[in-house]
Amino acid sequence: MIISNLLLSAAPHTSPWSIQTGVIMAVCNLIAISIGRYAIQVRGLGPSIPLSFLEGFGLPELLATTSLGHVIGAGVIIGLNSIGSIS
């Protein structure tokens, strides 16, 4: 009982999801995709995706860049939440 209360008190306060949080995550994903578009040297080895603006960009590249975008987005959201810029 004491351990569970200690663990609950150690959990950080997180803000609920909002449109602002979603927009921040989407922007971070777009930034990561644009970085990956120029940084990935060998593209198109896996299955391709039918999006015209991502020509030559396959499914592995898309999954890798959006994973990076979510990591960046989580950091940005937590950072902005800790300084009080978003609520």
Number of domains in the chain: 1
Domain that holds residue 75: 17-41+59-87
pLDDT 10s digits, 25-78? 999 999 998 898 888 777 667 666 776 566 677 788 888 899 999 999 999 998
Q: Is residue 7 part of a domain?
A: no
Using only C-alpha atoms, the chain has a radius of gyration, in whole angstroms, of: 18
pTM value? 0.75
CA angle 68, 54, 61 (to 5 degrees): 35
Q: Is residue 21 part of a domain?
A: yes
Q: Give dist(CA 39, CA 45) in Å, integer.
A: 15
Structure token pair of residue 58: 């396959």
Q: Give dist(CA 78, CA 86) in Å, integer.
A: 9
Q: Is residue 47 part of a domain?
A: no
Q: Is residue 75 part of a domain?
A: yes
Q: Is residue 6 part of a domain?
A: no
Q: Is residue 8 part of a domain?
A: no
Q: Is residue 82 part of a domain?
A: yes
Residues 6+ apart with CB under 8 A from 60: 45, 46
Q: Is residue 70 part of a domain?
A: yes
